[in-house]
Amino acid sequence: MLESSRLKKGLFITFEGGEGSGKTTLQQKIFSHLQAKGFSSISTRAPGGTPLGLSIRDLLLHQKNQFLSKKAELFLFLADRAQHVAELILPALNEKKIVFCDRFNDSTLAYQGAARYGNLEFIELLCSFVTDSLNPDLTLYLDVDPVVGLKRARQAISKQGKAEYDRLENEALEFHQRVRESYLHIAQKHPKRFVVIDTHRSMDEVFEIALTSIEHLIRESL
């Protein structure tokens, strides 16, 4: 069993996936598990990991009567990320902590890039610029058929008492299918960083696959 020990460097681990993939739940479960083992770590999300980010998140996802052009949406996500990296993520990594982040640059490439038919090469350059070229050490991509994922998201909305989908959840099925295709393409492009997990498995199986990958990364950093 892996126990807490001083890491040689901070570790940056991201969780990616379409709507209803279960990434947020998995991140919380992994974070709690490693906290209990004594590892110094933080859990955050994008957008919304900082006070500024919370305001941006509300505008991006919940103010659906506010028209946002594709470019405005993209640059709001990038503004959140620039602040997130400078204010929270880099300081934590410099303190040799494990940083778990719900969404990062790959989300922007999948959603604002591929799904919105954006200029992927240019968006990738922008992502690199606003994050000072920071890349995750490990990305756990939770793969789900969008039909299944949106059904799960609808069930979660009912349980949480939310009134309706947020701005991105409310996009057409074809949009979410393009998001999934983009994620799978990115995973093929970066096989050393990405672990693709089929979320049609049980939650326990998904957790074990994710934890095994993370523990391997931690052992390499002790």
Q: Where are the domains of the chain?
A: 11-220
Give the long-range contacts of residues 22-25, CB within 8 A, separation 24 or more: 22/142, 22/144, 22/152, 22/199, 22/203, 22/206, 23/102, 23/103, 23/140, 23/142, 24/102, 25/203
- 124-151: per-residue pLDDT in tens? 999 999 999 999 999 999 999 999 999 9
Residue 199's pLDDT is 95
Residue 158's pLDDT is 63
- 154-166: per-residue pLDDT in tens? 887 766 655 566 8
- 208: tokens are 């074990």
Assess whether pLDDT exceeds 70 at residue 26: yes
Residue 10's pLDDT is 96
Q: Mean pLDDT throughout 89-93?
A: 98
Indicate the pTM of the whole model.
Answer: 0.94
Superfamily of domain covering 11-220: P-loop containing nucleotide triphosphate hydrolases (3.40.50.300)
Q: List the one residue out of 140, 134, 129 whose CA is nearest residue 13.
A: 140
Whether 138 contacts 193, CB under 8 Å: yes
Residue 159's pLDDT is 67
